[in-house]
Amino acid sequence: MATHEQTSPLDVAVLREEFPVLGRHVGGDVTAPGEGADDDQPLVYLDNAATSQTPRAVVEAMTDYYYSYNANVHRGIHHLSQEASVAYEEAHDRVAEFIGADGREEIVFTKNTTEAENLIAYAWGLEELGPGDKVVMTQMEHHASLVTWQQIAKRTGADVEYIRVTEDGHLDMDHAREAIDENTQMVSFVHISNALGTVNPVEELVDQAHEVGAYAFVDGAQSVPNRSVDVGAMDADFFSFSGHKLCGPTGIGVLYGKAEILEEIQPYLYGGDMIRSVTYEDSTWEELPWKFEAGTPPIAEAVGLTAALDFLDDVGMERIQAHEEALTAYAYDRLTEFDDVTVYGPPGDNRGGLVGFNLEGVHAHDLSSICNDHAVAIRAGDHCTQPLHDTLGAAASARASFYLYNTRDEVDALVEAVDNARQLFA
């Protein structure tokens, strides 16, 4: 087993104080939201790839919005509306700065990563794809990408091809070079797999797409929370992520798109706030990014997202990545000590902050339930990657995912729970 330093670049004990939920004890029957037996065990939250916890700073920022300047944006000249509009527009600026975009024009707020993918698929894909065209994805795609482009292809007559995944959980880049050909119009792929933890070669895939004149869409839902991302450097045409996976609120996601491309694409949703002028016969659209943000937008959520990005920057993205990678490597080593545990994906020192695994003879849902008995929160299922699990020959898998506030002791608690399951089903 490899050894990993027990010291962390983060002061995790201090960070955990910013997340009140991490102080909970859980167990027993839940009778109402937030309630349950508090006489059992300390919560070990290892489901961060699904949703991270929220620090006080984010909650306080959103509370301040509701208490101090709650109003709709872009629609009033009164003081509260102006304050809300400034905060909302500056949230776009903050996101652009955080991911290396050129400005707010390239940042569209959506509900989540899934809606961002759908926006481009419907606004661009339905208009531009046709018979003979091809969309290339990977076998490790989240349903947010896979199902969306699959259905657009059915409607347009385009073809879909999937880059194969190797036995060690990496993309077969030789196959990628074959799949991405002159018929390819879009290459859509995850930055980090939410099931395997694989960190994909983004720049190489983007370059391959551009060499044949195709666009590249990167799903950054699992990367933006834990590492520095520069969409300009990677040269992605589109990039998406969700607020609730990076200490932010639910209900807000981000679509990045190169301004020159977004200018040419027609809106996906129509209605208020995205129009410049309207007659009974026709309408014209507002400037970027507002032409893609119809109706009342997620104002409070944008305020919360800004606070979340400030929080992460204060902690330091490089330190977050180093801490998460060390925890993941430690978890990989501990779990692979068991001969009857299969861990999916690359080696422990070459992956994102999650470990997907199965215990021989135990369904992932049963394993998750036993972990829950130990107050260890993990996820079980196909993780919105059903075709990938079919390829792996697994109906489901368990997944432990880590973040800046997790500890080695919590990894040990996970391993203890898995060992308990081994003994129960022996």
CA 220 to chain centre: 6
pLDDT of residue 6: 58
pLDDT of residue 129: 98
Model confidence at 409: pLDDT above 90: yes
- What CA–CA distance (Å, rounded) separates 297 from 282? 23
CA distances, 47 to each of 50, 252, 311 (Å): 6, 19, 20
- What CA–CA distance (Å, rounded) separates 26 from 29? 9
Check: CB of residue 160 under 8 Å from CB of residue 180: no
pLDDT of residue 28: 57
Model confidence at 262: pLDDT above 50: yes
Domain 12-54+316-424: which CATH number of 3.30.365.10, 3.90.1150.10, 3.40.1410.10, 3.40.50.300: 3.90.1150.10
Q: What is the dihedral of CA 396, 397, 402, 407, to 10 degrees?
A: 140
CATH 3.40.640.10 fits 58-313, yes or no: yes
Model confidence at 5: pLDDT above 90: no
Model confidence at 36: pLDDT above 60: no
Check: CB of residue 191 under 8 Å from CB of residue 166: no
- What CA–CA distance (Å, rounded) separates 224 from 99? 8
pLDDT of residue 40: 81
Contacts 24+ apart (CB under 8 A), 205-211: 205/171, 205/176, 205/180, 206/234, 206/235, 206/236, 207/235, 208/176, 208/177, 208/180, 209/136, 209/180, 209/184, 210/235, 211/180
DSSP codes joined into one string, 238-300: EEEEEGGGTT--SS-EEEEE-HHHHHHSPPSS-STTSEEEE-SS-EEEPSTTGGG--SS--HH
Model confidence at 357: pLDDT above 60: yes
| φ, ψ of residue 319 in degrees (nearest 5) | -70, -35
- What CA–CA distance (Å, rounded) separates 119 from 128? 14
- What CA–CA distance (Å, rounded) separates 187 from 345? 22
| Cβ atoms < 10 Å from Cβ of 377 | 18
DSSP codes joined into one string, 71-111: --SSS--SHHHHHHHHHHHHHHHHHHHHHT-S-GGGEEEES
| φ, ψ of residue 136 in degrees (nearest 5) | -110, 130
User: Residue 158 corresponds to which amino acid?
Assistant: A
pTM of the model: 0.95
Cβ-based neighbours of 65, under 8 Å, separated by 6 or more: 84, 87, 299, 300, 303
58-313: same fold as 12-54+316-424? no
Cross-strand partners of 254: 109, 241
- Distance from the first to the final alpha carbon of the chain: 24
Model confidence at 341: pLDDT above 70: yes
Q: What is the mean predicted confidence (pLDDT) over 235-259?
A: 98
- What CA–CA distance (Å, rounded) separates 159 from 424? 48
Model confidence at 419: pLDDT above 60: yes
Confirm whether 371 is a catalytic residue: no
- Using one digit for the tens of pLDDT, what is the confidence trace for 99-108? 999 999 999 9
- What CA–CA distance (Å, rounded) separates 151 from 149? 5
Catalytic residue among 384, 394, 419, 420: 384
Smallest CA-to-CA distance from 388 within 397, 380, 379 is with: 397
Cβ-based neighbours of 366, under 8 Å, separated by 6 or more: 421, 425
Q: What is the mean predicted confidence (pLDDT) over 409-418?
A: 98
Model confidence at 401: pLDDT above 50: yes
Angle between helices 56-68 and 299-315 (to 10 degrees): 150
- What CA–CA distance (Å, rounded) separates 73 from 26? 40
- Using one digit for the tens of pLDDT, what is the confidence trace for 305-322? 999 999 999 999 999 999
- Using one digit for the tens of pLDDT, what is the confidence trace for 179-188? 999 999 999 9
Q: What is the mean predicted confidence (pLDDT) over 220-231?
A: 98
40 SS3 class: coil
Q: What is the mean predicted confidence (pLDDT) over 266-283?
A: 95
| DSSP class of 121 | I
Q: What is the dihedral of CA 33, 34, 40, 42, to 10 degrees?
A: 140
pLDDT of residue 3: 45
pLDDT of residue 75: 79
- Using one digit for the tens of pLDDT, what is the confidence trace for 206-224? 999 999 999 999 999 999 9
pLDDT of residue 31: 54
Q: For the chain, what are the domain ranges?
A: 12-54+316-424, 58-313
pLDDT of residue 1: 40
CA distances, 413 to each of 281, 362, 404, 417 (Å): 64, 19, 17, 6
- What CA–CA distance (Å, rounded) separates 103 from 289? 10
